[in-house]
Amino acid sequence: MSFAREGYPFAVAGLLLAGLCWAGVWVRVADPASWPGRALLVSAWACSALAVFVLWFFRDPPPVLAADAAAVVAPGQGKIILVEDVDHVDVVDGPATKISIFLSVFDVHVQRAPVSGEVVHKEYRPGKYLAAWNDKASEDNEQGALGIRTEEGTVLVKQIAGLVARRIITDPDVGDDLERGERFGLIRFGSRVDLFLPAHWEVTGAVGDRVIVGSTAIARRVPVPAAAAQDQSQEGHAPADGSKTDSETADMAAGMEESR
């Protein structure tokens, strides 16, 4: 089992405290039958339990990627609490499907890339610390956002702080390439991850599903519909200087001829 490096300071502090308490118990700093002795013993057990919990919280198991190359894997580990349509998301550049995953303090808190692609957007926004399962948390809470562009469209991943979470870590920068399942960040102590997918992608996850970060397939990438691709192609071939295309010029000429 591997552990996230961000957890080392907390684990070391817990182990040191536990070691000091157990050393006090061992050398009988206080009479074990007295209340100071009993308090020291309780503290030793509490610090030991805290150190173990910290190591468990910061565990970073390697993902087992889905065999389907088009599969979109869960960017966070926990329970899907919401799947809904969104009219427009700027980074996705159009309508999207939003999938929200709630991470309890007992879940893995490392985040991994749901798809392979280039990071085209990165943003950090301070905010409130509402309970992560609250719908308003998606908009009001402290959060980090990462946009990843693929050939089939761009996805947006939001790392959202919760009631206890007070630290969001997002490692990649704009221009970096990510592989599906690659670690990109971490949220400390209870949180939420929102994933926004292009609306034409197929969603396979459902509310209530338990998902494993970087491993569980929750959607599938689908090529851009032909009509939308054609519109984008036409927009992309429009003259950059604002001059008329050949067809527009012909239409204008015909109109002038009729007016005569």
For the segment(s) 71-224, the CATH number from 2.70.70.10, 3.40.50.300, 3.40.50.1820, 2.60.40.420 is 2.70.70.10
User: Residue 31's pLDDT is what?
Assistant: 65
Mean pLDDT in runs of 10 for the chain (260 residues)?
69 80 74 73 83 78 88 95 95 95 87 96 86 72 92 94 75 95 85 94 96 96 71 48 47 48
- Annotation marks residue 191 as catalytic: yes
Long-range contact list for 18-26, CB < 8 A, 24+ apart?
18/44, 18/47, 18/48, 18/50, 18/51, 21/47, 22/48
User: Residue 249's pLDDT is what?
Assistant: 47
User: Residue 95's pLDDT is what?
Assistant: 96
- Give 165: exposed, middle or buried? Use CB within 10 Å, 0-12, 13-18, 19+: buried
Domain boundaries, the chain: 5-57, 71-224
Structure tokens at 51: 């150190």
pTM, to two decimals: 0.75
Which residue in the list 34, 116, 138, 191 is annotated as catalytic?
191
**Angle of CA points 148, 153, 155, to nearest 5°:** 40
Q: Evaluate whether 154 touches 190 at the Cβ level (below 8 Å).
A: no
